[in-house]
Amino acid sequence: MAQDKKLVEEITAMDEDFAKWYTDVVRKADLADYSSVKGCMIIRPYGYAIWENIQKELDRRFKETGHENVYMPLFIPETLLQKEKDHVEGFAPEVAWVTHGGSEELAEKLCIRPTSETLFCQHYANIIGSYRDLPKLYNQWANVVRWEKTTRPFLRTTEFLWQEGHTAHATKEQAEEETLRMLNVYADFCEDFLAIPVIKGKKTEKEKFAGATETYTIESLMHDGQALQSGTSHNFGDKFAKAFNIRYLDKENRHQYVYQTSWGVTTRLIGALIMVHGDDSGLVLPPRVAPTQLVIIPIASHKGGVMEKAEEIFNQLKPLVRVKLDDSDKNPGWKFSEHEMRGVPLRLEIGPKDIEEGHAVLVRRDSREKIFIDLNELTTKVPELLDDIQDALFTKALKHREEHTSIATSLDEIKESLDKKPGFIKTMWCGKRECEEKVKEVAKASSRCMPFDESSIGDKCAICNAKAEMVIVWGRAY
């Protein structure tokens, strides 16, 4: 019953109400469901399968760059959280507190990790003794909790899943190198695997992570012109090392503090996938991350030979792509909509007439293009088509970002741009916090980053007209 009703109701059109469209897709593509705890979601099998593909690919890239996985406790004692001043100020207001275990009140309350810097630091202080112990390149896949006021599935939830890398190095330079290495791992992953173009940049002083000396970010642009911070990489310098006394003996037998980094991405990447590639028929998944890359739909399956041929094709393609044969008793039209809603990149239709003519009909989810492919050529053409779709989605998203990126030379222009045609706005900036705050207040630019590799577009700060050497990108953030 629940199933049958689902597709009859249409999803809201993107242009009509983007926020509602988003929630409709999350629900109707069976990605997530609400739970009885405010702000916590249930990640359903289809949504979780996407997360598993993200995990698998990222984990491979982390291991390739020398990282090892560990697991730290869920709880942080209050006194431990308080050890680094900036860090506790940033996180204390949004943590959940455990005050009772079993029937007893705890002597010291425990916070549920909002992030695990303090736990890693304490462990590093115990296990690092000599320069031979460095670098430590650890990562963990875990759940974290931040008590959010407003939540939306995948984008901002009270509990979310993520990975957090935490590394310790002998020198400042090595820490900076690692911070940027991981930012690049994230950027390459987003562009190659999720087909999401990103801007790599640095956060402003005001927007840095609590306790970091530098925060780098990858920012992507959603279909509605809002920005999404998609991953961050932080350089801590020796701030945490000093607060937690993490020292090593160098080759000359002198005590030195270590230099640390941390970096993370979360289940919000699934939100980015939805909002970058989706359309009015639902989700559109890039083939590399799609749980099902091709779905086979038999037409007139009761007719002799159709199911046999469908199964034959299934078996042929199975070693090459993630393929599914939909042999349920729903009618083909229904199946088309259902798999479109779920964003399956390619649909293969096979019916008596196709068999007679020796071809199959392939329909691309991204362009709706219908392609006839000789049955003998499926094993070569299907992987090629999937590559094409992957590339086309990236190109389309990049074009969208370019069309929604503009240059402004005054605060009024920034505001006007963001109000009329939301997107990324580039300006020159003097670097002063008061200008940054003015843009945030007047133009509601909640997102900003200083992009790498951007050539100057002027010499004056767009806000105060003072001499400026930095380019900054403004946007409105999710």
Please report, as a single letter, which amino acid is at residue 200: K
Before 287, cis peptide (omega within 30)? Answer: no
112 binds a copy of itself (CB under 8 A): yes
Long-range contacts of 451-457 (CB under 8 A, 24+ apart): 451/199, 451/200, 451/201, 451/426, 452/200, 452/201, 452/202, 454/426, 456/428, 457/407, 457/426, 457/427, 457/428
Single residue of 129, 305, 358, 458 touching a copy of itself by CB under 8 A: 129
| 96 or 320: CB nearest a copy of itself | 96
Q: What DSSP string runs through 318-346?
A: TTTS-EEE--SSS-HHHHHHHHHHTT-SE
Distance between CA atoms of residues 342 and 330, nearest Å: 16
126 binds a copy of itself (CB under 8 A): yes
| 5 or 302: CB nearest a copy of itself | 5
The residue range among 15-23, 139-147, 282-290, 462-470 that interacts with a copy of itself, by the rule CB under 8 A, is: 139-147
Distance of CA 296 to the CA centre of its chain: 29
Distance between CA atoms of residues 274 and 228, nearest Å: 12
- The region that residue 234 occupies, defined by phi over 0 for left and psi between -120 and 50 for alpha, beta otherwise, is beta
Cβ of residue 410: shortest distance to a copy of itself, in angstroms? 38
Distance between CA atoms of residues 426 and 434, nearest Å: 18
101 binds a copy of itself (CB under 8 A): yes
- The number of C-alpha atoms within 13 Å of 400 and in the hemisphere containing its C-beta is 23
Cβ of residue 287: shortest distance to a copy of itself, in angstroms? 20
Cβ of residue 258: shortest distance to a copy of itself, in angstroms? 14
Single residue of 48, 193, 244, 263 touching a copy of itself by CB under 8 A: 48
Instruction: Kindly state the number of chain residues that form the binding site for a copy of itself, as judged by CB under 8 A.
Output: 61
Cβ of residue 438: shortest distance to a copy of itself, in angstroms? 29
410 binds a copy of itself (CB under 8 A): no
Strands 346-350 and 359-364: antiparallel
127 binds a copy of itself (CB under 8 A): yes
299 binds a copy of itself (CB under 8 A): no
29 binds a copy of itself (CB under 8 A): no
Cβ of residue 419: shortest distance to a copy of itself, in angstroms? 32
315 binds a copy of itself (CB under 8 A): no
253 binds a copy of itself (CB under 8 A): no
Structure tokens at 294: 């091709």
Give the Å distances, CA to CA, from 156 to 167, 283, 477, 478. 26, 19, 12, 8
| 112 or 180: CB nearest a copy of itself | 112
Task: Name 3's Cβ contacts closer than 8 Å, sequence gap at least 6.
Answer: none
Q: Answer whether 140's CB lies under 8 Å from 163's CB.
A: yes
77 binds a copy of itself (CB under 8 A): yes
The residue range among 115-123, 213-221, 308-316, 389-397 that interacts with a copy of itself, by the rule CB under 8 A, is: 115-123
- The region that residue 142 occupies, defined by phi over 0 for left and psi between -120 and 50 for alpha, beta otherwise, is beta
| 110 or 430: CB nearest a copy of itself | 110
Q: Which of residues 145-164 bind a copy of itself (CB under 8 A)?
A: 145, 147, 158-159, 161
73 binds a copy of itself (CB under 8 A): yes
Site map 53..72 versus a copy of itself, x via CB under 8 A: ---------------xxxxx
The residue range among 135-143, 293-301, 350-358, 388-396 that interacts with a copy of itself, by the rule CB under 8 A, is: 135-143
Single residue of 10, 143, 395, 466 touching a copy of itself by CB under 8 A: 143
Site map 206..245 versus a copy of itself, x via CB under 8 A: ----------------------------------------
For the stretch 220-236, what's the b/e string if a residue is b when 16 or more beta carbons lie within 10 angstroms of its beta carbon? bbbbbbbbbbbbbbbbb
Q: Which residue has the tokens 């002083």?
A: 205
Structure tokens at 432: 């002063």
Residues lying near a copy of itself in the complex (CB under 8 A): 1-4, 33, 35-37, 40-45, 48-49, 51-52, 68-77, 80, 93-103, 110, 112, 119, 122-123, 126-130, 132-133, 138, 142-143, 145, 147, 158-159, 161, 249
